[in-house]
Each structure stands twice: as structure tokens, then as C-alpha cells.
Amino acid sequence: MNKKTDQSFDGLTTKFAKNIYATGKGKLRLAVLERDLAALIHTEKPLRILDVGGGTGQLSQKFAAQGHQVLHTDIAAPMVADARQQHQALGLAEHYRYLCAPLQELPHLLAEETFDVVLCHAVLEWLAEPQQALPILKQFMAAQGHLSLMFYNRDAKIMANMVYGNFDYVEADLKVKKRVRMSPQQPISLADMSLWLSQCDLQVMQKTGVRCFHDYLREPCEEQRFEQLLQLELRYNQTEPFASLGRYQHWQIRHAK
């Protein structure tokens, strides 16, 4: 059996940007995160932000534009370079530091530095051992710090594949012989994530589903109807049972009291 390894997007920067950010699903994702984090983005107090696996830095730009200081990290050097270029073009470079390193090396590189907000979006599902990332993220949270965690929902992946009629794939426990490089290797169930956070003495303050409806549509949403779909997603994605059906989960987390 091949040993599981973490996956990065080194060499896939252009493809990643096209497949994620330049699509309806990417626009939905960004809109949901912006809505959820609006109170932090627009707070008058200057915040220290750590963006783990920040990719090309679209979301952290919202914080930087409000004057917050961001440490942008990613395992892939091309991602960091592209993010730096975009931030310079937007006149936001003064609000950024950059670090090219995997999550596991951050404790050594950042010593005892802590942050008001830790962003970790669509990272854990690419790790061989996602559970081990949570204590690392926790150590970067200031005493009143906030963790914004988005992860790929295993339960929603099962549901979607049943809707698509991929019964054999579900029966095989979502395992394939050949790994697709742009497909997350470790989707995480809601029960597992809840248990892991509890074991780390972390408390979930708010749960949001990301793409609760989008991924179950029989036909792709037409461009002229996208805004209507977005508004319906935003209306229902913090309400059960819809929230738990989101292909991704965005959980806002604090230290347990």
C-alpha cells in the first residue's frame, strides 16, 4: 500500500485559479466566506491575520483592504508568487508578509507568534493526516483568537454521488484506484471534525454550508440565474438540514471556555 502524503498545487497555479476562482462555485465560496467573516473584516481594531494555505490570496485581500496585517502562507512557491503579484497590483503589499512553507513547519518558523484570526480554507482535506493539523492551528490562535476553518464535507460527497448515480463509488467507500490530482484525497465527516475539535478544546461558534444547493442541480446554473442561486444559498446555508449538505463546511471556532 502506498503511504499517504500531503498534496500541494505546485505547478498547478493557473489550473487551480481557473477551476476554483473563475467559476460559479468559486464565486459562491468567496461570497459565503465574505458574509460569514464580515464582522471581523470590518472591525475598526487592526487585526493580525494568518492565512494558512492561502493560495493566491483572494479572501485575505478583504482583510488587507481594511488595514489588517496578513501573513500569507502556502506550500507552493508559485502560489505565493502569484499572490504577491496580485496584492502589489492592488496596492495592498504593505499589509502583507509572505511565507512559503507547509503547515507542519509553521510552528518552527513562527516560534510563539499568535494571531487574532487564523484562516484555513480547503487545506485539511489535502493532508494525509488532517486531524494533526488542528493542534497546530490552535497554537497560533491568540487567547481571544478566531479560527475560520473550511473543509471538504465527506457526508455531502456521499450524498452528491448518490444523486449522480455513482453507486459503485459510494459502495467502495469513495476510494478510487487512481487519484485525481485536483480532487481532495481526505474528505472529512462532520462527526469526525466535531470530535477532533472537542479533543483540542476548541468550540464551534457558527456552522455554515458552502454550496448547499449548487452541487445538486440537475443542470448547471445559467449565468443570468446565478445571483438568484447565490441569494438562496445565503438564505439557507446556516439552517439545517441544508447546512450539513454543503459540499464544504465553514466553521467559525474559538477556544473552549
Report the alpha-carbon angle 122-166-162, nearest 5. Answer: 75
- How far apart, in whole angstroms, are the C-alpha atoms of residue 208 and residue 213? 13
Find out whether 214 and 221 touch, Cβ atoms under 8 Å.
yes
- How far apart, in whole angstroms, are the C-alpha atoms of residue 108 and residue 86? 28
74 is in an annotated binding site: yes
Residue 58 backbone dihedrals phi, psi, to 5 degrees: -60, -45
Q: Which helix (H) or strand (E) holds 26?
A: helix 24-36
- How far apart, in whole angstroms, are the C-alpha atoms of residue 110 and residue 18? 32
Cell of 5: 502524503
Find out whether 157 and 216 touch, Cβ atoms under 8 Å.
no
54 is in an annotated binding site: yes
154 is in an annotated binding site: no
254 is in an annotated binding site: no
Binding residues: 29, 53-54, 74, 121
Binding residues for S-adenosyl-L-methionine: 29, 53-54, 74, 121
